Every structure is written in structure tokens, then in C-alpha cells.
Amino acid sequence: MAHLLGSTVAAVALGSALDSVEAGVTCFLTGVLIDLDHVLDYVQRRRKRKLGFRDFFRTDEWAPQGRLFLIFHAWEYLPLLLVLTFVPGLSEIGLGALCGIGLHLIMDHLNNRGFPYTYFILFRWFHGFKSNCFFRMPSRRELPRTSAPGGTEIRAETELAGSIAGQTREP
């Protein structure tokens, strides 16, 4: 939900500032659709198991184990998009994509428990796309407590697993 809201605000601001519907729409679409790589990762992780819409949103599905590619989440794309802003006829689309993807990566970097280089695809590739190499595992003390039925407190390990692997749970 945060990406949807952030992309909407950025798209309206950019579109208005440039008086360009193309820049605004491109900003919005790239800021939201960049997350399609999560679907690709989900399918890859569950290739021998049944796929399900409900399972996709379970946070324990995204526990930091195995490999996580996030092929669209990469700072390396921004210089390429910057070059696109200098191509006649594509400058507004390039600027929209630059702003949409850039904002999305900034929000993810600030919100998720990654290392400084987590959103560099070359860094992830160098580490074999092993998610435990680029997302931090919390200590037991960092896990939030929630109340279970009967009033006992439990650690919300599955709630936190999603935020660790780049999937924040949004209200």
C-alpha cells in the first residue's frame, strides 16, 4: 500500500511539474509494477508445490532462506534510465521511470532490513542470490511480541519474516 500511495503522489507531482501525462503515468506504473519480480520469485520458490494466492501473502513464505532474485529491484537500472532522459521523444518517459523506480528503491531500502548493497543486483549475483547474504536476520530480542489466544505472549516470527525478505506487511 505504501508503494501505491508513494507512486501516486510522485506521479501527480511529476506530471504536474512537467505538464506531462506520460511522465506521471510512467512514474506511477514503474513505481508499482517493479514489484512483479516478487511474483517471479514466488513461482521459483514454490516450483514443486502448489501455487496459491493466499500463500503468496503469507509472510513465512518469504523467510530469508534459499535464493531471492528481485530482478527489477536494482540501482544499476537508474543510470540507464538517466541516459533515456536525453533521448528525444523518450525523455519524459525516462524521467518518469527514473523517478518511479528510484522512489520505490529508496522506500524499500529505508523500510526493509537489508544491507547497504542489498538493492544492487550485482551484489546479489556475486552472493549467488542467497537471501540470507543480503537481508539481515533479527535476533530473538528484536522479534516483536504479540498476544496469542489465552493471553500468552509469542514472538511474531512469521510476521517479521516477510519484512526481512523485502516484503513488508502493509496495513
In whole angstroms, what is the distance from residue 57 CA to residue 75 CA? 26
- Grouping H, G, I as helix, E, B as strand and the rest as coil, residue 147 is strand
Question: Which residue bears the cell 526481512?
Answer: 164
Query: Could you tell me the pTM of the whole model?
Result: 0.75
The crossing angle, in degrees rounded to 10, of helices 2-18 and 91-111 is: 150
The crossing angle, in degrees rounded to 10, of helices 2-18 and 21-33 is: 160
The residues pairing with 154 across neighbouring beta strands, listed in sequence order, are: 146
Each residue's pLDDT, cut to its tens digit, for the chain (171 residues) gives: 889 999 999 999 999 999 999 999 999 999 999 999 988 888 877 776 666 666 665 544 555 567 889 999 999 999 999 999 999 999 999 999 999 999 999 999 998 878 889 999 999 999 999 888 887 765 556 555 554 455 444 444 444 444 444 444 443
